[in-house]
């Protein structure tokens, strides 16, 4: 069988999904991971640019030097802004990411793939991992980053998938579960619920002996990424402490976590920590994200059960009651997935003529994102279809007041037109 025949299904899946995601990960356990990269280079389905991390990429500076050099070979004008910013702001990740993104935006007029190959060479280089996470916020719309690695990168994959910015590919399949490992199948049985106040059950028993909130949050933080370094943890939890003090607090917190759950939760290997793969783990966030992936791959009524399951799983904001920066960031990501579920389900029910159900879904969406005028427009339309013009008028007046008080603006012309159509309809 030829190379193309072996990986054709994988290329088809990639081609179907890359334009709607800024980030694509080839799962390390994919059988044809390396063959897929070779096939893409041989016969790309779209404009493609390639960089493979090498043995000299031991720092962010060297990575950026190599990347600029190799991409300039593929596009001669590449790197002007990046090189200028590197001269003036060599340690400013925001400035560097923004400059690189500006250069990337000019590589192609249309959508294209940027492949970072051999990415596992950066596993133990925190500044590269951090920079790539910064870059995701600046990446131009036409650039789609494909990462090939022997290990899962230290990136918040689950959160990125939740807000429809990433997919994890295992050969020709989009992963809807098992993002971090092939199987978690032995005792003890651990159930984790993070959508809402956040709690953990071990073998059916609610864990209450945490000795403070830090051990519990350390567990949730570790679940958020497939692997994490001690430096990552210390930076997230104790950024203002000297490193030696932060490390001491981390070890105390880790011991309390293991004591609360009754077993070694975090295991250390190759300079990284990960949640013990021997656990039989059920995690509502993973189920939630898996449902989003399933729904996005279906349409109409076939997608409805998956959207509904995601809605049912979302019992509240991620880790309610905490405002740590990493929690606030993840909370926004998962809320985006919840809003997507509500709105998509609302559209399905509206198309079926189930206007009351659709209205309830859009009202829930508005309660989560009151600044989204597109959602308010759907509410107004549904009030109009139901003949409830008085409620439409009240909703519109409340929206006007909210926009004026918060943003000093009036409703958009499109919103005004919809409202005028409703109240003038006799």
Q: What is the pLDDT of residues 293-311, one digit of tens each?
A: 999 999 999 999 999 999 9
* 8 Å CB contact between 361 and 349: yes
Q: Which two tokens stand for residue 84?
A: 């200028």
pLDDT at 402: 92
Which residue has better confidence, 124 or 254?
A: 254
Residues above pLDDT 90, as percent of the chain: 78
Phi, psi of 322 (to 5 degrees): -125, 145
Q: What is the pLDDT of residues 261-295, one digit of tens each?
A: 988 899 998 889 999 888 888 999 999 999 999 99
Confidence (pLDDT) at 156: 82
pLDDT at 343: 98
- Candidates 150, 159, 137; CA nearest to 30 is 150
pLDDT value of position 146:
97
SS3 (DSSP) at 73: helix
pLDDT given for residue 186 in this prediction? 47
**What is the pLDDT at residue 277?**
85
Most distant pair of Cα atoms in the chain: their distance: 73
Residue-wise pLDDT for 140-156, tens only, equals: 999 999 999 998 888 88
- Per-residue pLDDT at 184: 43
List of residues 6+ apart from 45 with CB closer than 8 A: 11, 14, 15
**pLDDT tens-digit readout, 342-363:** 999 999 999 999 999 999 999 9
**pLDDT at residue 102 above 90?**
yes
Cα 256 → chain centroid: 29
In the DSSP assignment, the letter for residue 4 is H
Give the CATH class of 3-174: alpha beta
Query: What are the residues whose beta carbons fall under 8 Å from the beta carbon of 409, sequence distance 6 or more?
Result: 403
pLDDT of 166-220, one tens digit each? 999 998 898 887 776 544 444 678 999 999 999 999 988 999 999 999 999 999 9
Q: Provide the token pair at 73.
A: 């070979």
- Residue 380 pLDDT more than 60? yes
4 in Cβ contact with 163 (< 8 Å): no
Fold entry, domain 189-282: Arc Repressor Mutant, subunit A (1.10.10)
Structure tokens at 180: 């971090």
How many Å apart are CA 132 and CA 146, to the nearest integer? 12
Distance between CA atoms of 172 and 426, rounded to whole angstroms? 54
Look at residue 360 in the predicted model and tell me its pLDDT: 97
Write down the pLDDT at residue 1.
56
Enumerate the CATH 1.10.10.10 domain ranges in the chain, comma separated. Answer: 189-282
Beta bridge partners of 202: 190, 205
pLDDT band at 6 (very low <50, low <70, confident <90, very high): confident
Q: In Å, what is the CA distance from 68 to each residue of 54, 111, 121, 214, 322? A: 14, 20, 18, 41, 41
At residue 367, does pLDDT exceed 80?
yes
Q: What is the mean pLDDT of residues 3-7?
A: 74
What share of residues in the chain are helix, strand, coil (percent, to 5)? 55, 15, 30
Q: Which two tokens stand for residue 95?
A: 């400035």
Report phi then psi at 397, rounded to 5: -60, -40
Taking residues 401-418, report their average pLDDT.
Answer: 93
- Residue ranges of the chain assigned to CATH 3.40.50: 3-174
Q: Which residue has the tokens 């290997």?
A: 269
Using alpha carbons only, give the angle 402, 337, 150 rounded to the nearest 5 degrees: 145
3-state secondary structure of 280: strand
Q: Which has more pLDDT, 426 or 245? A: 245
Please name which of 308, 30, 64 lies closest in space to residue 147, comparing C-alpha atoms: 30
Facing residues of 275 across strands?
266
Q: What is the mean pLDDT of residues 82-104?
A: 94
Mean pLDDT of the chain: 92
Q: Is the pLDDT of residue 72 over 90?
A: yes
Q: Which of 83-92, 127-136, 358-367 is most confident?
A: 358-367
CA 155 to centroid of chain Cα atoms: 9
pLDDT at 227 (0 to 100): 86
Neighbours of 40 (CB within 10 A): 22
Per-residue pLDDT, 3: 59
């Amino acid at each position: 069988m030829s190379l193309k025949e072996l990986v054709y299904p994988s290329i088809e899946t990639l081609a179907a999904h890359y334009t709607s995601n800024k980030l694509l990960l080839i799962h390390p356990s994919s059988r044809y991971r390396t063959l897929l990269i070779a096939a893409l280079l041989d016969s790309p389905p779209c404009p493609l640019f390639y960089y493979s991390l090498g043995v000299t990429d031991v720092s962010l500076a060297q990575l950026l030097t190599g990347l600029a050099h190799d991409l300039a070979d593929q596009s001669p004008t590449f790197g002007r802004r990046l090189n200028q910013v590197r001269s003036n702001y060599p340690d400013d990740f925001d400035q560097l990411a923004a400059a690189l993104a500006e250069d990337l935006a000019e590589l192609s007029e249309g959508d294209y793939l940027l492949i970072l190959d051999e990415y596992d060479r950066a596993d133990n280089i925190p500044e590269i991992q951090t920079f790539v996470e910064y870059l995701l916020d600046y990446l131009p719309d036409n650039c789609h980053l494909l990462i090939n690695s022997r290990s899962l990168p230290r990136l918040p994959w689950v959160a990125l998938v939740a807000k429809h910015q990433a997919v994890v590919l295992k050969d020709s399949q989009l992963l809807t579960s098992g993002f971090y490992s092939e199987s978690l199948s032995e005792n003890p049985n651990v159930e984790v619920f993070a959508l809402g106040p956040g709690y953990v059950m071990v073998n059916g028993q609610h864990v209450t002996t945490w000795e403070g909130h830090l051990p519990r949050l350390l567990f949730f933080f570790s679940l958020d990424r497939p692997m994490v370094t001690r430096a990552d943890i210390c930076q997230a939890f104790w950024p203002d402490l000297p490193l030696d003090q932060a490390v001491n607090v981390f070890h105390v917190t880790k011991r309390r976590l293991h004591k609360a759950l009754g077993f070694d939760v975090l295991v250390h290997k190759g300079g990284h920590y990960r949640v013990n793969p021997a656990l039989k783990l059920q995690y509502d966030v993973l189920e939630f994200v898996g449902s989003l992936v399933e729904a996005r791959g279906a349409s109409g009524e076939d997608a409805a059960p998956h959207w509904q399951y995601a809605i049912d799983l979302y019992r509240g904001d991620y880790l309610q009651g905490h405002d740590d920066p990493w929690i606030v960031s993840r909370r926004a990501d998962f809320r985006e997935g919840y809003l997507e579920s509500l709105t998509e389900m609302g559209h399905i029910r509206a198309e079926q003529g189930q206007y009351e159900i659709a209205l309830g879904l859009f009202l829930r969406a508005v309660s989560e994102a009151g600044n989204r005028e597109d959602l308010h427009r759907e509410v107004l339309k549904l009030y109009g279809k139901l003949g409830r013009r008085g409620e439409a008028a009240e909703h519109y007046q409340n929206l006007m007041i909210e926009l004026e008080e918060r943003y000093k603006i009036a409703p958009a012309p499109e919103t005004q037109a919809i409202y005028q159509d409703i109240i003038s309809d006799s």
